[in-house]
Chains A and B, each alone.
Chain A
Amino acid sequence: MAHTEWIHALEKVVGADHVISGSEAGTFAVDGKVPQAVVFPSTVEETSSVMAIASEAALKTIPWGAGSQMALGAIPARVDLVVALKHLNHLVDHEWGDMTATVQGGMRLEDFQQALGQHQQYLPLDPPFADQATVGGLLATNASGPRRLFYGTARDLLIAITVVHADGTVTKGGAKVVKNVTGYDMNKLYIGSLGTLGIIAEATFRVYSRIAWEKTWLAPFLTLDHAEEAIAQIMDSSLVPNALELLDKAAARRVTNRASIGWTDGQYALAASVESVAEEAVDTQIEEIGRISRKVGSPGGNLLHDEPHHTFWREVRDITPGTNGTAPRHLRAVLKGGVLISKVADAFRVGEEEAKAQGLDICIVAEAGSGIVRYYVSAEDRSLQQFVEGTVSTVERIRSTCEAQEGSLIILEADAALKTRIDVWGPVKGLKLMQGIKERFDPRQTLNPGRFVGGI
């Protein structure tokens, strides 16, 4: 199909005002690659017709939610068409009595939360930049945040899904009930698949009630050893924090500053959030967490509740690279490591050492109880080449440490210049099986070619 022909075909499906091309498409570039056109379907049916045209015309196609995570993934092989989902943004249903809700993939998480909030319910997913991200985008990237310690991630919350495949076929998986083993669990396949198997058109979640009481104990630590011991003792107890976050000195300074919490510089911070229907249950746990922290060497601590509690956690989630979040975009990178719970402090140590050796700024935050470590690397006044060199070596060093502990390290966000130098995903177990799945779902490599693991 010729260029004008497929553009025309798309216009026929969604209306001429829902297709843009030429220079206007520039803001939808992925790793610098500008699409020939951007199409905005408003319904699942339109999305299906769009994909039928895209595969017919052999267009390399990139699904686009809010664009907040487009820096994730390897550089796409080619970009012809962006399918932007911002009009596929409706709440399909909220069965509040059953505590399930269905949304379209292009709905922003924040709008979804607001709708759920009308019945004092919410989806306990708190990924970075939750106010911008779309639900489909969150699922495709398997984004998560501090609350995963208690509530898990998308894989524990998603119960049904509707997907538009590369050739336009629409399928669903799962059911709108909290327990179901009919057929394979297709939900799991699409979570974290970065839009390489299909476009997430609808998603049904198990949702939760808002809990009356929630407070945070913020403990300072002068050394990582002490923080490490506190984490181990809290985890090996019957305490049930819903989040347990370790912040390095830079992150602690930044977050406390932005949340207006009194703080002495040069200390690590361990934050434990506790919730319950009973205030007493929160208080006794907070007390115990405070006691453990002091016992292993924490000098003091802050109790956060109400607004400061919420501000604190929002700032933890939304950290950006650079001391003040001011580093230029191309001199920033965000890395995500997975390690054993007992190796979280080691993962901090290697990050700190290597950044220092490379002369880079670094900020490290970890979901300590889950073994997920985020590194925010940046430089203020370096050449791009210097930054890339330093970051490549940092990635390699941290990656090999994570891998030695059965973990992994991926690059969540980086300039294309860095991505040409190093594999964003690192080595992957079971790659052949993954390639076999991709081949069967998208034999013509229509969706997001080259952005995922092992060249998928």
Chain B
Amino acid sequence: MIQGKTRIVRELEKIVGPNAVIHTEEELRVYECDGATIFRALPDMVVLPATTHQVAEIVKVCHREQIYFVPRGAGTGLSGGALASQGGIIIGLNRMIRILETDVPNQRAVVESGVVNVWLAQKISGDGYYYAPDPASQTACTIGGNVAENAGGVHTPKYGVTTNHVLGLEVVLPNGETVEIGGKVLDPPGYDLVGVFVGSEGTFAIATTVTVRILHKPEAVKTLMGIFHNIEDASNAVSGIVARGIIPACLEMMDKLSIQAVEKWAKAGYPMDAGAVLLVELDGPKAEVEALADLVVEVFQAQRVREVRVAKNDEERELLWKGRKAALAAMGQIRPDCYLQDAVIPRTKLPIILKEIEELSQEYGLPVANVFHAGDGNLHPFILYDGRYEEEIRKAVELGARIMNRCVEMGGSITGEHGVGLEKQDFMPLMYTEDDLEAMMKVKCAFNPDQILNPGKIFPTSKSCVEVGQHKRDRIRYEPHRIEKEGLAQRF
């Protein structure tokens, strides 16, 4: 609880106006969780600034009073990053929505951090340009949230993730100071502060404006779907594509369970008995796209592809994508609840990990569907369970932990795009030693020395966990998070 809440509400109202401060429990409920609904925590209040100046004034109050505060974009994050898990103020950026500049000749745009990802794309589309990072949540998520999470999307094999497209930031530091780092021009001298900021999950500062690179649209786009007898053939096709030096714009995979769920839901025309589907999108100069498409089909055929579908127009392209896009919604038919994992493996390990996930699914008696970014080796196992049974929740979480464990053992990572947040902080020691984490902590402390900004995220909470991580990797198990134990947040 904040000391002198009424006084502070009044002070904040002076900064942003009375209709931009939320402090009644009923209204605060909206901000109780983000996309990772497994975690809940009620903030003490929410403030909705409309300008950088207002953000800075709010932060100064927080700094003076040493109140915890947490930035929040659209709240679509999938690791609990936007929760006020230790209480305090949420600073919602949803009124900072101006596209400040689109500089087409210089291929740059400057936006306020609350701008929704897809708005930028829409704004520059008429000039023949686009903004490459396209998370599936792009119609809702904010560019500030993308910066914080270093969000990916489906075009990452060729175009990379958010960090490859962000060049400059205006940020409000936790002491209320406004600082500009990076900018429209490349290679600014000094440490790459923008580079470390992207992916810092809202623990360094509040980004108020973001300068991004925009790209000219490609001359041609071609979408192909390969339908395979089994997941091994499809996985080998992925390796084949990568090994041939083909860099597709997208390379997505769906396994049997997902195909069935999606087909029932979206009727995209996928065969119900297919073992796996690969969606490949190629873009670039027309002649190159044609040549690449031939190569991809060759790779498919070497893996006994059952059928290849090539979109002949936009309508057909939409149809091929329809199933992929409906994946999350379709899962609800199998089990009422879904725990979406996010982990990465080196791409050649795909056949092995998918087989192991299948085995784990049987061991735990929970269905696991895989719809994922195969081209990056970024897995998204949908662990399906029924949240009415405590036992199933426990199993789902443990199954997720086992998958992460195996990914790390194969040289991979515990998250490819959703972030650590609250969800995975106790798994950090799987990948990093105490010294590694301390180096990260030093960077955080340079930005956020009092740790009043977004406390209690990313870093492991208990020492014992670090020890387990270093010496007994295989024994890592999910434990209720400290905030759950303390009753600050609860899983439903």
Contacts and interface: CB of A to CB of B under 8 A. Distances in A.
Contacts of B391: none
Contact of A189 (B106, B286, B443): B443
Given A173-B439, A181-B419, A430-B190, A208 B106 contact: no
Contacts of A176: 346, 411-412
B245 interface: yes
Nearest to B418: A181
Interface stretch (A235-243, A290-298, A376-384): A235-243
Nearest to B444: A184
Centre residue among B106, B373, B378 by max chain A CB count within 10 A: B106
B198 interface: yes
A430 B164 contact: no
Contacts of B195: 155, 185, 187-189, 191
Interface string B234-254: 000001001111110000000
A184 B199 contact: yes
Interface stretch (A5-13, A261-269, A279-287): A279-287
Contacts of A437: 191, 442-443, 446
B417 A341 contact: no
B125 to A, nearest CB: 14
A176 B160 CA distance: 15
B290 A181 contact: no
B440 A276 contact: no
Interface stretch (B20-28, B48-56, B178-186, B359-367): B178-186
Contacts of A429: 179-183, 188, 190
Contacts of B413: 175, 177, 179-182
Nearest to B458: A183
Interface residues of A, number: 89
B416 A181 contact: yes
Interface string B278-305: 0000001111101110010000000000
B428 interface: yes
B200 interface: yes
B190 A277 contact: no
B377 A179 contact: yes
Interface in B426-440: 428, 431-433, 435-440
Contacts of B183: 406, 429
Given A179-B378, A342-B105, A440 B445 contact: yes
Nearest to B242: A99
B163 interface: yes
B454 interface: no
A322 B107 CA distance: 34
B247 to A, nearest CB: 8
Interface stretch (B38-46, B211-219, B469-477): B211-219
A426 interface: yes
A95 B166 CA distance: 29
Interface in B361-414: 373, 376-378, 411-414
B432 A172 contact: yes
Nearest to B432: A183
Contacts of B156: 179
B238 to A, nearest CB: 11
Nearest to A178: B376
Interface centre among B182, B239, B247, B442, by most chain A C-beta atoms within 10 angstroms, is B442
A284 to B, nearest CB: 6
A186 interface: yes
Interface string A413-452: 0000000000001101111111011011100000000001
A405 interface: yes
A302 interface: no
A144 B192 CA distance: 15
A453 interface: yes
A359 interface: no
Nearest to A280: B287
A78 interface: no
B70 interface: no
A186 B377 CA distance: 21
Contacts of B346: 95, 97-98, 100, 176-177
B421 to A, nearest CB: 10
Nearest to B104: A236
Nearest to B150: A181
A341 B377 contact: no
Interface in A333-376: 336, 338-342, 370-372
B420 A182 contact: yes
Nearest to A427: B189
Interface stretch (A63-71, A163-171, A303-311): A163-171
- Residue among B216, B242, B245, B444 with most chain A CB within 10 A: B245
A83 to B, nearest CB: 19
A336 B316 CA distance: 49
A372 B189 CA distance: 13
A197 B439 CA distance: 10
Contact of B415 (A169, A182, A431): A182
Contact of B348 (A95, A235, A236, A284): A95
Contact of B437 (A96, A142, A163, A183): A183
Nearest to B192: A188
Nearest to A235: B107
Contacts of B189: 408, 410, 425-426, 428, 453
A210 interface: yes
A156 B156 CA distance: 12
A132 interface: no
Interface in A216-270: 232, 235-240
Q: Which 5 A-B pairs have the closest CB atoms?
A: A209-B245, A188-B195, A278-B291, A281-B288, A436-B446
Interface of B: 103-108, 128, 149-150, 152, 156, 160-161, 163-164, 173, 179-193, 195-196, 198-200, 216-219, 239, 242-247, 284-288, 290-292, 295, 344-348, 373, 376-378, 411-420, 424, 428, 431-433, 435-440, 442-447, 449, 458
